[in-house]
Amino acid sequence: SQTIHQWPATLVQPVGSPLSLECTVEGTSNPNLYWYRQAAGRGLQLLFYSVGIGQISSEVPQNLSASRPQDRQFILSSKKLLLSDSGFYLCAWSRGTPSGNTIYFGEGSWLTVV
């Protein structure tokens, strides 16, 4: 069966510090991968999505970046965190084809920037 894991689950980081959130999927190959952020009082915002290794599409220009060094690994990074980066970050995956496949979410990571 397929599983998705992301870590760390919670972290508190000072303003200006770097960030690295990792996500891995097991039990499938060539998944579509996503990073979302759910800020307090707001909905889910798509940050990045990837349909293959090295293929990253950015939806929101900001100080975050994403990388996909391996087929089932998706990393969200920042060189210098801002207060506004605080929120709940969700990694997700879906099968590449056909369309209409279910999206599976990781457990989420709570980030507090202080």
What b/e readout covers 59-73, taking b as 16+ CB neighbours within 10 angstroms? eeeeebebbbeeebe
Residue closer to other proteins by CB (options 18, 110) is 110
**By CB under 8 A, residue 49 contacts other proteins:** yes
CB count within 10 Å of CB 12 equals: 11
Query: Considering beta carbons, is residue 33 or 75 the nearer one to other proteins?
Result: 33
Strand 73-78 to 87-94 pairing = unpaired
Minimum gap (Å) between residue 100 Cβ and other proteins: 3
Among 35, 94, 109, 111, indicate the residue that binds other proteins (CB under 8 A).
Answer: 94
Question: Alpha-carbon distance 81 to 3, whole Å?
Answer: 29
> C-beta of 45: minimal distance to other proteins in Å?
8
Retrieve residue 63's tokens: 């100080």
Instruction: Count CB neighbours of 105 within 10 A.
Output: 14
Q: Is 9 in the site for other proteins (CB under 8 A)?
A: no
82 contacts other proteins (rule: CB under 8 A) = no
Q: Write out the residues near other proteins by the rule CB under 8 A.
A: 32, 34, 36, 42-46, 49, 51, 57, 59, 90, 92, 94, 96, 98-103, 105-108
